[in-house]
Amino acid sequence: MGTPVESTLTSTAAEHRLWDVIIVGSGPAGSSAAIELSRNGRHVLLLDRNHFPRSKVCGGCLNPAALKMLDGLGVNAIVDQYSTPLMRSLLFSDRQRAEIPLNQTRFLRREILDAALLQESIRCGASFLSGTLATTSQVNETCRIVRVRCQSREIVLRCKLLLAAQGLGSGMVGVRIVQSSGPKLIGVGAEIDAPGLLPLNTVGMAISPEGYVGMVQLECGTLHIAACLSVARTARFSAVDAVTRILARNDIMLPSSANAKWIGTPPLRHKNSTVATERLLLIGDAAGYTEPLTGEGIAWALASGAGAANLVADSKSIWRPDMDVAWQKHYARLVGSRQKRSSWIGQWARGKRAAAILVGVCQRAPWLATRVMHHLGRAYECGQARNS
């Protein structure tokens, strides 16, 4: 599902221009930056190694902050038409369960969301090349040079500023990826035919020391699954078996998934030596990632894309010498602090007996859980970065 999005120019045409901004990666972070930059009159080229639509391992959760940003980006009609309202969250652990009321939260498949954002960026004036893999980049006195592989052809692109938004584990020249401390985690996901396994308008979350499994039941009978697994604790099993075991401990029995297409991710937790260097800013998962147990992942991506675009908006020369320092500070305030909090919550919840304690607290004090969810969904301040 999702509308196909074709390239808007040839690789030869792209090669013969000096772009204001090239964005590598056309997910929520890259496309949100492209929309904002194009609206401000910048000449933007979006690249993606995949063809759209494409599936992603993602819970698809849009919290109030994400919905507010999507409205500002002009895709609210797609969200209203294709998303599913989520009225409650069900937490499961050791056969206990707790219900948390949700407000202004929706589920939307990533193939629909990403295609809609990409189409909006093109409508705003951005150019797009699909099936294009960025391999290396280097900087000179006036621009950044990006070498890419497009349709079995190696080409060289030039830009005043490069935004790296190509997702998990994808480094750019000059930025060293560092695996975070703590357990190694991977993501897996699928959609399987399982009508009635969960109530409609509900996001289920089964938590255990082995990881956690998020689920949304769609009206068509499909169960959308996105899981985060500890590699060490599930090494004896396949990823699918690990998901099945976590759910079975909570009396959630998956039907045979022989026909389901399961997809996975690289290691989920990483950080970079920096999120900015000369004529290069990192946004979205490329800037650093921790598993979003709290359902904030898409909001993080949208906020970082809009934040970087707003930083560039008032700079006549696109790049200025202090921009790398300004982005590092602004990113830390905008997204970094929220990611640290989510990482702490995720690590704690996977501790022995911690998930059962969490469910127990939610059972006895649902008002407290509601206040926490409200706090997690508060709006982002994506305005221009301060230099101090």
Chain-centroid distance of CA 194 in Å reads 26
Q: 116-156 pLDDT, tens per residue?
A: 999 999 999 999 999 999 988 999 989 999 999 998 889 99
C-beta atoms surrounding 136 within 10 Å: 12
Query: 209 in a domain, yes or no?
Result: no
Q: Kindly report the length of the chain.
A: 388
Q: What percent of the chain has pLDDT over 70?
A: 93
- Rounded CA-CA distance 241/256 in Å is 11
pTM exceeds 0.75, yes or no: yes
The mean per-residue pLDDT over the stretch 326-334 comes to: 93
Average pLDDT over residues 360-373: 86
Residue whose entry in the numeric block shows the structure tokens 């305030």: 333
Average pLDDT over residues 353-360: 86
Q: Note the pLDDT of residue 232.
A: 86
pLDDT for res 384: 46
Beta pairing class for 106-107 and 153-164 = unpaired
pLDDT at 257: 65
- Other Cβ atoms less than 10 A from the Cβ of 190: the count is 22
Is 84's pLDDT higher than 70? yes
Per residue in 256-278, pLDDT (tens digit) is: 766 688 999 887 766 677 899 99
Task: Using alpha carbons, select from 164, 144, 293, 175 the residue that is nearest to residue 230.
Answer: 293
Has residue 98 got a pLDDT over 50?
yes
Q: Residue type for 233, please?
A: R
* Domain membership flag for residue 15: yes
**pLDDT at 298 > cutoff 80:** yes
> What is the identity of the amino acid at 204?
G
Domain span at residue 139 reads 11-59+109-180+268-376
In a domain, 210, yes or no: no
The band of 38, judged by pLDDT with boundaries at 50, 70 and 90, is very high
Mean of the per-residue pLDDT values of the chain: 89
Whether the predicted pLDDT of 287 surpasses 60: yes
CA distance 351 to 36: 41
Kindly state the tokens that stand for 224. Answer: 């959308």
* Amino acid at residue number 95: R
* Residues 143/158, Cβ–Cβ less than 8 Å: yes
Name the strand (E) or helix (H) holding 22. strand 18-24
Reported as a pLDDT band with limits 50, 70 and 90, residue 31 is very high
Whether 119 is in a domain gets the answer yes
Give the domain CATH number at 307. 3.50.50.60
Is pLDDT larger for residue 324 or for residue 340?
324
Confidence label for 386 from pLDDT (cuts 50, 70 and 90)? very low
- Which one, of 222, 33, 216, lies nearest residue 107 by Cα? 216
Within-domain flag for 235: no
Residue in 86, 78, 85 with CA at minimum distance from that of residue 2: 78
Please give the structure tokens belonging to residue 32.
């949100």
Q: Looking at the domain assignment, is residue 309 inside a domain?
A: yes
163-219 pLDDT, tens digit each = 999 887 555 555 555 555 566 888 999 999 999 999 999 999 999 989 999 999 999
Domain count, the chain: 1
**Omega into 64 within 30° of 0, i.e. cis?**
no
Is residue 303 in some structural domain? yes
pLDDT band, very low/low/confident/very high, at 385 (cuts 50, 70, 90): very low
Query: Can you tell me the distance from the alpha carbon of 307 to that of 190, in angstroms, rounded to the nearest whole number?
Result: 32
Confidence tier at 369 by pLDDT (50, 70, 90): confident
pLDDT > 50? residue 95 = yes
Band of residue 387 on the pLDDT scale cut at 50, 70, 90: very low
- d(C-alpha 242, C-alpha 249), whole Å: 11
User: Is 1 inside any structural domain?
Assistant: no
Q: Can you say how many angstroms the Cα of residue 45 is from the centroid of all Cα atoms in its chain? A: 20
